[in-house]
Amino acid sequence: MNRIKGLVKDLFFLGLLPLIYRVSSWLGVKNRALLITQRTLSGPDDFAAVESLLEQAGIPCERYCLMAEKGQKTYLLRTLRLAALAAGNRFLLTNDSINALLCLPLRKESLLVQLWHACGAFKKWGYACLENRFGEDAKTLKKYYQHQKYTLVSVSSEFVVPYYEAAFGLEPGSGIVQALGVARTDRYFDPLLQKSAKEKVKAALGLKAEQKILLYAPTFRGELESAKAPEMPDLSKMKEKLREDWVVILRQHPGVKNPPLLLEKWAGFAFSGQELSMEELLFACDAAVTDYSSWIFEYALLGKPLFFFAPDLGAYDTERGFFLPYEEMIPAPFFETTDRLIEALQQGTFDAEKLAAFRETYMSACDGNAAGRIADFLLSAAKEKEKN
């Protein structure tokens, strides 16, 4: 049965999709951009800043989501349509690893750009995960995820370039991965935007102006298709010790299908942030707690206190793994118990210098001008292709 499934997958991704692309290519290519995402067009907008600059340069942009509607049949139909659309657009931008896109025999006029949905280099993915239990095996990655087709992978600093090359299976020094910055972080340099986000979040949750917000936003456990929430800190204990100064907003990873319910006994102290954007919550909070989530990198741009709650560090490291040793890389202490976390919050334990050094290492190319550099690269690369 598995062999039959494999043959059907090969026929679809390596036969039918390339055929549709080649046939559609006969219609020619237009000077426009297709912005492609795998799962959703909501959440942090990885495209907006670059999209705006491309449109100012006279390049129409269209967004396309493969999972815009539920159902396997709909997904397959949208994948087929993607192959046809991709053939007619000079610029192809994505923020995820999409096999339906990477299997296409891209025409020489096309530019395929990866605006990856995370900053920095924290937990492993792709080829970097081959020794761990997470992700695809080497044969599957090589067959369906041909990352060498990228024209550009734009990352948040020079330091992380080799880690992205490793994750995407690219030759070191290939020049595909470049530290031009992460476009959506340009918004983190707008103080008025941060102020309005804080007002919006407090109004949405009915919080008083003087109440301090502690954001707890962990990553998921397991594979994304069956993502589960991790063990949470003891909210009853946190309410008892912290309610005079803090309220807690909990935001599970969007891939978690059934996030834990907030109990009535935590009312007035713990709130769900699932309906608010992660960016708004990062702007609004006064301090934040996570485990292994990559939002720590853009959060570092804000210079606010950060804490880590990681009671399952050993198990997570075995399953997923990190590019660098966890305790050496994170810019703040991590705790395995709620008591230690509460103690750190009460004492205001926060090393601003360590966070600044972390920011310089992992986010040095994110300075408020990343979108401009990426757009300039695309326009320049397109002109070079026209010459050739």
More confident site: 249 or 209: 249
Q: What is the pLDDT of residue 44?
A: 62
Q: Under CATH, what is the fold of the domain 190-363?
A: Rossmann fold (3.40.50)
Asked if the 8-182+367-387 domain carries CATH number 2.70.98.60, the reply is no
Task: Grade residue 226 by pLDDT with cuts at 50, 70 and 90.
Answer: confident
Residues 6 or more apart in contact with residue 362 via CB below 8 angstroms: 119, 120, 121, 156, 157, 159, 160, 297, 300
Q: What is the pLDDT of residue 41?
A: 52
Residue type, 130: L
Q: Give the integer Cα–Cα distance in Å for 14 and 7.
A: 10
Kindly tell me if the per-residue pLDDT of 15 is higher than 90.
Answer: yes
Q: What is the pLDDT of residue 132?
A: 65
Mean pLDDT of 232-250: 94
Residues of the chain with CATH 3.40.50.12580: 190-363
Q: Which of 14, 329, 34 is nearest to 159 (CA)?
A: 329
Q: What is the pLDDT of residue 386?
A: 83
Query: How confident is the model over 203-216, as pLDDT tens digits?
Result: 999 998 889 999 99
Task: Tokens for 242, please give them.
Answer: 């912290």
Residues of the chain with CATH 3.40.50.11820: 8-182+367-387
Q: What is the pLDDT of residue 367?
A: 97
Mean pLDDT of 312-334: 91
Task: Grade residue 30 by pLDDT with cuts at 50, 70 and 90.
Answer: very high
Residues 6 or more apart in contact with residue 86 via CB below 8 angstroms: 21, 34, 36, 92, 101, 104, 106, 110
Mean pLDDT of 63-67: 90
Task: Tokens for 108, please give them.
Answer: 């020489």
Look at residue 287 and give its three-state secondary structure: strand
Q: Give the integer Cα–Cα distance in Å for 186 and 209.
A: 27
In the chain, pLDDT over 90 holds for what percent of residues? 72
Q: What is the pLDDT of residue 19?
A: 97
The DSSP string of 257-285 is: SSPPPPPGGGTTTEEE-TTS-HHHHHHH-
Task: Tokens for 137, please give them.
Answer: 């095996």
The rounded mean pLDDT for the chain is: 91
Task: Grade residue 260 by pLDDT with cuts at 50, 70 and 90.
Answer: confident
Query: How confident is the model over 133-177, as pLDDT tens digits?
Result: 666 777 888 877 889 999 999 999 999 999 999 999 999 999 999
Kindly tell me if the per-residue pLDDT of 382 is higher than 80.
Answer: yes
Query: How confident is the model over 325-360, as pLDDT tens digits?
Result: 999 999 998 999 999 999 999 998 788 999 999 999
